Chain A
Amino acid sequence: MSTVEIRGVSKRYGSVAALDDVSLEFADGEFFGLLGPSGSGKTTLLRSIAGFVEPDRGSIHVGGEEIARVPIYRRDIGMVFQNYALFPHMSVSDNIAFGLSVRGIGREEIRARVEDALKLVRLEGYGERRPRQLSGGQQQRVALARAVVSRPRVLLLDEPLGALDKNLRQQMQIELKQIQRLVGITTVLVTHDQEEALTLSDRIAVFNQGRVIQAGTPGEIYDSPRSAFVADFMGEANFFIGRVARRQGDEMQIVLDDGAAVMASGPSRLAENAAVRLVVRPEKMSISASEASIPPHHANRLAATVEQVVFMGSSITYRLNCAGAEVSVYQQNQDPPRAAEGGAVWISWRATDTIPVDD
C-alpha cells in the first residue's frame, strides 16, 4: 500500500506522443480510474508504472521511492491483464502461488495465503482446477487473487472486465470494489468504459491524445466537465452554442444562436459578450406537454418537437428537435410517456444544470 506520484511523464513513439507531460497523484488506498478513448495514453501510463514502458521524461514514485531504475520483478506491483494471462499449464492454486513461490516463501505459508486469496475471491474448492475449466468471470477472479496475494504496493487493472458480458461485468464491478476496499491496495484502473470508471473509481483522470484533460471525483467529472470532450466522453451531453448576454455574480444569461435565452448558475471565468458552449445532461431535463406544467424551479425552458421516443426499460429516451439542434432527454419509466412522436412539447431544466465548457 503506497501513494503513487507521476511527475511530468512523457513518452513518444516516433512522431506520436503517447504521453505528453502527465502529472497525477494517487493517494494511499485510492481507487483511481484512467479513462479515455483507445490510443489516448492511459494504457501507456499504466505500463509505465508496471515497468513495461520506459518514459522518455518525468518520474514515477511509488511510496516515495523513484522506480525508474527498479526492474519489473522487484517493483512489487500486482497487475490484472485484459485477457487475464493465467498460466494455462498450472492449476488455479499454482497460478496464485506463483508470485509467492518465486519469492522463496515457505510451502506452508504459501498454502495458507493461497487459501485466503481463494476465499477472498469466493473460489474456495476451485484450487485444483485448470484455468480453462473455469468461466470468464472465474478466470477474472483468479487473475485478481494472483495479483493481490503477495500484497503488492500498487494494483494495476488493465481493462479487467472488458472480456465479460454486460451482466457479469456489472456484478464483477461491485465485487471488485468490495475486494479493493477489503485489501486497501492503491489501485489504478484503465478502462474505455465511462460507466465502469464512474462506478469503481474514487477519482478519475480523463485522457485524450496523451494528456490528462481533467481529473477529479466521478461526480465532478460528470457534473462539471470543463471541456466539450469530457462532457461528450462521459455519458451523453446536449450542446448549445451562444453568447454571454449578461453577468451578475454567479448568474449568467446566455443568448443562444437562435435568439432563445438560457440561464446558467455557478462560478465561471466567462466575460460578457464571450462566445460560449453549454452542456446540459439529458437526465437533468424535463419534458412538459404545456408551458403551464413546467416545474416552477426550472429557470430554462425551450420549445421542441418530439422526433423519436425510445423505450429503454427503466427509462425512456426522447430525441427532440429544438430550434434545429438535436436534444436528448431521459425520463424515468415512472410516469406515463409525456409526449408522442411528432408532438410539440417544452423542455426545461434548472439554471445550475447549465454547464459552460471550453471547446
Chain B
Amino acid sequence: MTRRRVLPGLRLALGVTLLYAAIIIVLPLGALVFKAASLGPEDYWRIVSSGRALASYRVTVLSALAATAFNLVFGMALAWVLVRYRFPGKRFVDALVDLPFALPTAVAGIALTTLFAPNGWFGEPLAAIGVTVAYTPLGIMVAMAFTSLPFIVRTVQPVLEDLDPALEEAAQTLGGSDASIFVRVILPLLAPALLAGVSLSFARSLGEFGAIIFIAGNQPFETEITALLAFIRLEEYDYQAAAAIASVLLITAFLMLAVTNLLQARALRYTARG
C-alpha cells in the first residue's frame, strides 16, 4: 500500500473533493430545500400546484420531451455519420457539435430569435407555409433542442466507435436484413449510451433558461417555462415561492437521475467488458 501515486494521498484528495462538493453542490441545494421547507406543507402545495405553475410544468416538460425526441433521432444520425463515414469537413462538423456547449445560452437565444422571427431568414419562409416558431412552444422546443444536442452525440459517438464491425458482419451472414440488424443488434448495444444521452439532454432542456426566454414570448399559461416562473417570483422578492417552484425542478432532476442510473446499471451488466 506504499505505492507512490502521481497525485497526493487519499486523505488530502478526498478532503478537497468532499469540501468542494459540499460548497458547490450540497450547500446551495440545501439552502433551496430549506427555504422551500420553511413554507409549511399547505402553502408549499398551493404554490407548486397553482394554475400558472401547472401550466409552466406542462409547457416545460412537453417541450423538453419533444426536443429530446428530436435530438434522439438527429443526434444518433449525426453520431453515426461522424463515426461511420469519411467526408470533407468531417472534423469541422465534429467540432461544430460542441458549439452549443461553448456558446453563451443568451447568444444562442438571440441568434435563434433573429433567425425564427417572422421576418428572419427561417421565420419568413416558415410563416409563408403557416408555421410560427418564435414566441410559441415550438420556439421553446427549438431552443431546447439546440442547447442539448451535444449530449446525445457525445454519449453515443464513443460507444459507436468501439462497436466491433464484426458484430454487424456476423449478423449479416446469419441472414439479418439491415433493419433487423439495426433493431436487434446495434440499438440494444447503443441503448445504455442513448439512455444516458437522453436523460442528460432532457435534464438540460428542463433547466434551460437563457436560450429560451428570448424566443419563447413568455406568455403565462402559454409559453412560460418553470425556470422563468421561479425567476419572476424571485424578482417579486417572493423568495419562498421561487424556492418552492425551483424545488419541483430539483426533485424532478433527482428522480430522473436515479431512474436513469438504475436502468443503466441493468443495461450495462452484460454489455460492459469483463
Contacts and interface: CB of A to CB of B under 8 A. Distances in A.
Nearest to B172: A72
Interface residues of B, number: 21
B164 A83 contact: yes
Contacts of B161: none
B169 A89 contact: no
16 contacts: A50-B169, A73-B175, A73-B177, A79-B169, A81-B170, A82-B166, A85-B166, A85-B170, A86-B170, A87-B170, A87-B185, A88-B189, A89-B270, A89-B271, A102-B184, A146-B170
Given A79-B173, A147-B174, 8 more contacts: A76-B175, A86-B170, A87-B167, A87-B171, A89-B189, A98-B171, A102-B174, A102-B176
Contacts of A103: 175
A50 B166 CA distance: 12
Contacts of B38: none
B273 interface: yes
A74 to B, nearest CB: 7
Interface in A114-153: 130, 132, 146-147, 150
B188 interface: yes
B180 interface: yes
A82 B164 CA distance: 12
Q: Is the interface of B mostly helix, strand, loop or mixed?
A: helix
B88 interface: no
Interface string A63-85: 00000000011111111011101
Interface residues of A, number: 29
A311 interface: no
Contacts of A75: 173
B171 A78 contact: no
Chain A CB within 10 A, most for which of B166, B170, B180: B170
A214 B175 CA distance: 34
A176 B189 CA distance: 30
Given A132-B273, A132-B274, A83 B166 contact: yes
A85 B175 contact: no
Contacts of A146: 170, 174
Interface string B135-168: 0000000000000000000000000000010110
A85 B189 CA distance: 13
Nearest to B168: A85
A87 B173 CA distance: 13
A52 B189 contact: no
Nearest to B170: A85
Contacts of B184: 98, 102
Contacts of B180: 102
Contacts of B167: 85, 87
B173 A132 contact: no
A147 B172 CA distance: 11
A99 interface: yes
A54 to B, nearest CB: 14
Contact of A73 (B164, B172, B270, B273): B172
Contacts of A102: 174-177, 180, 184
Contacts of B174: 73, 78, 98-99, 102, 146-147, 150
B171 to A, nearest CB: 7
B270 A85 contact: no
Interface in B216-274: 270-271, 273-274
A139 to B, nearest CB: 11
B169 A88 contact: no
A73 B168 CA distance: 11
B177 to A, nearest CB: 6
A156 B172 CA distance: 13
A86 B167 CA distance: 7
A79 B172 CA distance: 10
A225 B169 CA distance: 36
A88 B173 contact: no
A130 B270 contact: yes
A88 B171 contact: no
B173 A72 contact: yes
